[in-house]
Structure 1
Amino acid sequence: MEMLLLGDIAVIFVLSVLVLFIFHKVRAPAIVGFIFTGALAGPQGLGLIQAIEQVDVLAEIGVILLLFTIGLEISLKDLMQMKKYVLVGGTLQVALAILAVYALLIYFGQPVGTAILIGFLVSVSSTAIVLRIIQKKSEMYTPQGRTILGILIFQDIAIVPLMLAVPLLPGAVGEVPESPLIILAKGLALVALVIISAKWLVPLALYHIARTDDRELFLLSLVAICFAVAWATSLAGLSLGLGAFLAGLTISESQYSHQAFGNVLPLRDAFTSFFFVSVGMLLDVNFLLANPLYIILLASGVMLLKSLIAGATVAIMGLPLRIAVLVGLALSQIGEFSFVLSKVGLEYGLISQELYRIFLDVAVLTMVATSSIIAVSTKLADATSRLPRFQRLNRSLPANMPDIKTMKDHLIIIGYGVNGRNVALSAKSEAIPYVIVDIDPETVKSGLRNGEPIRYGDATQEHVLLSTGVKSARVIVIAISDRTETRRMTELARRLNPDIYMRVSKN
């Protein structure tokens, strides 16, 4: 079996190199290349991979390492600032998706239990694929990045109650698992342990390990923390991925987070390739070729429905239309944890074998399309936000602002993160008049409480920038992380005021 697994690993890597080389030449996304490799080498393709269960284990390790690195990049403080996106955004998105799918399937005559289960499956998006793309685009700290991450975190947490609910659905056959209250108690105890570890235990342990100046020991310590916490969460009935994310959070609070991220990155990239290959192996090629139009239409319908629901959720939270479109398109696919849910549903007799095959093909197709959808999402968001019918959704919210008409030679600060706050503090100490614009409602609310001249708005929109008095301003500082938006803002500001002095300071 060991030699069989080794042979399969060799096949995966060699075939991946060849496929990715071709995909690179035609400028196709790498993730699609990995999924295509899995479909090609899997049991439904050329049948080159035999140790499928072992490859799935390697894929699980890839997801664990991916979410571990995400946790390293996000501190507990950052997570608390995203609570609105996690609690409000996540709850709305999952609930609306389940209700919409349920209503559609009941209309088409599906049983109640089946309709609810498929609603569960569709409500979850792919944490592994979406966060990988966001990381590569350096958009983790952008408004859309924070919103996407918050909703995905909620989805990962929601997997537990969704799985517990499956045996309780109408039509389910089988025994009910462990009490939800017991699992909830275990989860709360685990979260408390993570907070304590992040505050005292992990920084102290890493301090003594770092003093040895042994790189191998430091790396092994990181891997040990990652898998130990992931294993503990699985014992509590939670997902391994969520545990890995929590493990990353414990280290992110220490001064060793940046070194840790650099050390784990090569391991993450190697193992996440197995995850995407394993997704491709799930594709039933024969069934897809026998029903291509049916599967493609279903996949397109799912992505459209999910985009509309996620976009509406973001709009309800008060974010601009452009961000709503970006988030909606990014969360339009079916997630990897839905495969786990679908197997549970199959075991309890809620879906038939044929419906299970249809779901797998539809889910994989939505995953394959994700990279391309996100690649064009910026252009689609810009085009949508410029439509006259939607202009009212781009207007900035009222705020206590100075009289822009009387301001001259003032400073405009776009983005009120760390750098934006420092610029505002310096301007205040030098008695320089300034105006702040930020796209995060929570940040604006906090700034207003502190007496800052801040307003809510998307500074890529001309009317928002004009409302700051850009034509009479002397300096504009762009302190955001999104490179695409920064470029658009600089072009727009330069067009509105060719003489303005511009400074870009990444947040």
Structure 2
Amino acid sequence: MLERGAVAEPSNLELVQIVAVLGAGVIVAPLFKRAGFGSVLGYLAAGLAIGPFGLKVVAAPEAVLHFAELGVVMFLFVIGLEMRPARLWGLRRDIFGLGATQVLTCGALLTGLGMLAGLAPATAFIAAMGFVLSSTAAIMQILDEAGETATPPGQRAVSILLLEDLAIVPLLALVAVLAPATGQNLRADWVSLAIAAGAVAIVVAAGRWLLNPLFALLSAVRAREIMTAAALTVVLGTALLMQVAGLSMAMGAFLAGVLLSGSTFRHQLEADIEPFRGLLLGLFFMAVGMSLNLDVVMQQWGLVALAVVGYMVVKAAGILAVALLFGAGRREAIYRAALFAQGGEFAFVLYAAAAAVGIFDARISAVMSSTVILSMVLTPLTVMAARRLLPAEKPDLDGLEAPDGLSGSVLLVGFGRFGQVVSQAFLARALDVTIIDNDPGMIRSAARFGFKIYYGDGTNLDVLHASGAGSARAIAICVDDRAAANKIVTLAKETFPQAGLLVRAYDRGHALELVNQKVDFQMRETLESAFAFGQNALEFLGLAPAEAEETIADIRRRDAERFCLEQTSGLYAGLDLIHSNAPTPEPFTRPRQAATPLNTEAGVLAGEALRREPSPT
């Protein structure tokens, strides 16, 4: 029998590796993100540090990478859940037009570059097409962290990534075609295509007629862990089916997500998958960092450096040309080039297939894999440089009118959801109102409802002059930016003393600031709606309308009294006027400057003694 220590030792080693991988990601990724480099670069650096060419904590990164690819699979499933078939159809021009053009153009350019470097045509083609397929995981993570996924440029990037994910299927078939051809290979190709088509048909049929009834049945059991297990089974099962059929696991997961995007259980599925997706995706980037073969890089450093620079520059040039051809602005085109000028995870799949059939030798495979990994490492840096160096994109002002020599009794600055409601009071009494806003989209939308809005920034003194602030009886400042509102107040008090200042306050602390600036009237943006909401809620819960009204009137009186005390004694005055839900009253002590404020109307909590943080409203 084995002694107890003999069994425990390998188990402890595995546990050390798991702890090291998780710990490296937990420590390094937040540091890189906080420094502005993004979490992707942090995960890559963490993987390199603990991999076989760093501290050697993990000796077999291939096994980790194979497992961590499930993070990419789940990521594509979550993206699919957001892509309803109608929305996907609406992106068809970007997917099959812009995406296909970018892939073919960059593929042709990089193939030519490889042939100029002395590679055989087949080798140059596979090397190029592997590099053309950008990292879906890296790009989506960067877009998601920047909040750009839902923007029009972000949606075009998603469309290109979808086409690139689809392109892996014909590319793998081409690898077999470019290998020494035989009749048996040809028959195998036709069989493979038939199997792939059958797998797609099975997934579509299951998505339409099986999955929704299945989740409805499981939901009736009311066991959260069963729903989570079912969600993972759907994602991983679909990915496995696609892999067995010779297709991309990521494409299978995306297809399953699209088919479930209209399901009533979509949000539940997304919530169940999200923790696994985030963890495995971080593990995937760490595995990529571990896989960087520093021996190859050092031995072939000149070739690898030329390959990285050459492929990234040529690919970026192709992307830039295609973006401009399809009508993208200069800034969007350059940013897209910086974002996509890299290889991706599918390159490893394609290069492995090419090595298996003899298109790549060991040296070319190692050099190209290192080139792809280094390009992924450099991508967060190129994106960060592009963001900092590119000037802010100028808004499209076509068809918009700037204020010039206007006059009126009221100047309304800001036509958002607050300003729109305020404008009705002035217009109902037929007052002469001039409205300015600096959002072109809002101005064009308002025009369809019969409003005349001028394009202008209220924080600019020249714009205020041109808008008639010098003759206005009142300036209604309805912008949703606290700093901008304060700046307009300062300009107006100094330059247009004849005009009354009516200001939308962001929260309670801002309202106190405005009172100190001696504006004529200020109103916290959520105050009255919250009072109305509270009164209706009490009536819904069974309180008589008169009693509900009396309760809200008492709260309103308390709030006004407390606000008066705060003007003289600070934000913490009048705390005894607040209805609190604390089980036992505790002596109030002024929180330290680092304390986290609670952003509530009751505002016990004045974390906003600091002006930079939101104060109790």
TM-score by length of 1: 0.74
CA distance in 2, matches of 1:316, 1:195: 37
Q: Between 430-439 and 20-29, report the one with greater CA deviation.
A: 430-439
- Alignment partner for residue 242 of structure 1, among 251, 266, 275? 251
Shift of 1:10: 4.0
- Alignment partner for residue 197 of structure 2, among 185, 188, 192? 185
1:55-454 superposed matches below 5 A: 55-169=64-178, 175-176=185-186, 177-179=188-190, 181-182=193-194, 185-186=197-198, 189-190=201-202, 192-193=204-205, 196-197=208-209, 201-382=210-391, 396=396, 437=440
The code of the aligned residue for 1:189 comes to A
> Are 2:107 and 2:132, in contact at CA under 8 Å, matched by a contact in 1?
yes
> Are 1:39 and 1:280, in contact at CA under 8 Å, matched by a contact in 2?
yes
Shift of 1:336: 0.3
Report the counterpart of residue 27 of structure 2 in structure 1: 21
CA distance in 2, matches of 1:475, 1:81: 39
Structure 1 pair 211–411 and aligned structure 2 pair: CA distance change class (3 A)? farther
> Are 2:304 and 2:370, in contact at CA under 8 Å, matched by a contact in 1?
yes
CA distance in 1, matches of 2:301, 2:369: 14
> Are 1:125 and 1:333, in contact at CA under 8 Å, matched by a contact in 2?
yes
Report the counterpart of residue 456 of structure 1 in structure 2: none
Shift of 1:79: 2.0
Shift of 1:273: 2.8
CA distance in 2, matches of 1:357, 1:251: 39
> Are 1:102 and 1:118, in contact at CA under 8 Å, matched by a contact in 2?
yes
SS for the counterpart of 2:391 is helix
CA distance in 2, matches of 1:130, 1:360: 19
Q: Between 139-148 and 46-55, report the one with greater CA deviation.
A: 46-55
CA distance in 2, matches of 1:189, 1:42: 41
- The alignment of Structure 1 onto Structure 2 pairs a total of residues equal to 456
> Are 1:311 and 1:325, in contact at CA under 8 Å, matched by a contact in 2?
yes
CA distance in 2, matches of 1:310, 1:82: 19
> Are 1:12 and 1:37, in contact at CA under 8 Å, matched by a contact in 2?
no
CA distance in 2, matches of 1:192, 1:96: 32
Shift of 1:97: 0.9
CA distance in 2, matches of 1:164, 1:9: 40
> Are 2:71 and 2:281, in contact at CA under 8 Å, matched by a contact in 1?
yes
Structure 1 pair 53–293 and aligned structure 2 pair: CA distance change class (3 A)? closer
SS for the counterpart of 2:260 is helix
Q: RCO higher in 1 or 2 (8 Å CA, sep ≥ 6)?
A: 1
Shift of 1:157: 0.5
CA distance in 1, matches of 2:84, 2:12: 38
**1:35-64 CA deviation, whole Å, 9 max, x = no partner?**
234334434444433555542332122222
Q: Between 253-262 and 81-90, report the one with greater CA deviation.
A: 253-262
Shift of 1:361: 1.2
Shift of 1:353: 1.3
**1:62-90 CA deviation, whole Å, 9 max, x = no partner?**
22222222223333333222222211121
Shift of 1:224: 1.5
Shift of 1:121: 1.2
The code of the aligned residue for 1:185 comes to A
Shift of 1:359: 0.7
Unaligned runs of 5+ residues in structure 1 are: 386-393, 454-458, 463-468, 479-485
CA distance in 2, matches of 1:166, 1:397: 50
Structure 1 pair 216–20 and aligned structure 2 pair: CA distance change class (3 A)? closer
> Are 1:323 and 1:381, in contact at CA under 8 Å, matched by a contact in 2?
no
1:11 aligns with 2:17: yes
> Are 2:29 and 2:42, in contact at CA under 8 Å, matched by a contact in 1?
yes
Structure 1 pair 20–77 and aligned structure 2 pair: CA distance change class (3 A)? same
Unaligned runs of 5+ residues in structure 2 are: 1-6, 458-463, 469-475, 493-501, 507-617
**1:127-174 CA deviation, whole Å, 9 max, x = no partner?**
112112222333220122211111111101010001101122377799
Structure 1 pair 107–191 and aligned structure 2 pair: CA distance change class (3 A)? same
CA distance in 2, matches of 1:321, 1:123: 22
Structure 1 pair 452–93 and aligned structure 2 pair: CA distance change class (3 A)? farther
CA distance in 2, matches of 1:471, 1:9: 70
Structure 1 pair 276–71 and aligned structure 2 pair: CA distance change class (3 A)? same
How much identity, in percent, do the aligned residues show?
A: 24
Report the counterpart of residue 481 of structure 1 in structure 2: none
Report the counterpart of residue 538 of structure 2 in structure 1: none
CA distance in 1, matches of 2:372, 2:230: 36
CA distance in 1, matches of 2:321, 2:66: 36
Shift of 1:412: 8.8
Structure 1 pair 196–23 and aligned structure 2 pair: CA distance change class (3 A)? closer
Shift of 1:228: 2.1
> Are 1:64 and 1:240, in contact at CA under 8 Å, matched by a contact in 2?
yes
Shift of 1:243: 1.1
Shift of 1:289: 2.4
Aligned alpha-carbon RMSD (Å):
4.6
CA distance in 2, matches of 1:371, 1:361: 17
SS for the counterpart of 1:382 is coil
Structure 1 pair 159–309 and aligned structure 2 pair: CA distance change class (3 A)? same
**1:382-421 CA deviation, whole Å, 9 max, x = no partner?**
27x6xxxxxxxx79597xx58778999899989xxxx9xx
CA distance in 1, matches of 2:477, 2:174: 56
The code of the aligned residue for 1:186 comes to G
Shift of 1:502: 9.9
CA distance in 1, matches of 2:153, 2:339: 9
The code of the aligned residue for 2:255 comes to L
> Are 2:103 and 2:164, in contact at CA under 8 Å, matched by a contact in 1?
yes
Shift of 1:292: 3.5
Structure 1 pair 256–279 and aligned structure 2 pair: CA distance change class (3 A)? same
TM-score by length of 2: 0.62
Q: Between 311-320 and 346-355, report the one with greater CA deviation.
A: 311-320
Structure 1 pair 68–188 and aligned structure 2 pair: CA distance change class (3 A)? closer
1:456-471 superposed matches below 5 A: none
CA distance in 2, matches of 1:113, 1:88: 26
CA distance in 2, matches of 1:205, 1:412: 50
In terms of fraction of residues, the more helix-rich structure is: 1
Structure 1 pair 410–345 and aligned structure 2 pair: CA distance change class (3 A)? farther
> Are 1:206 and 1:256, in contact at CA under 8 Å, matched by a contact in 2?
yes
CA distance in 2, matches of 1:7, 1:267: 24
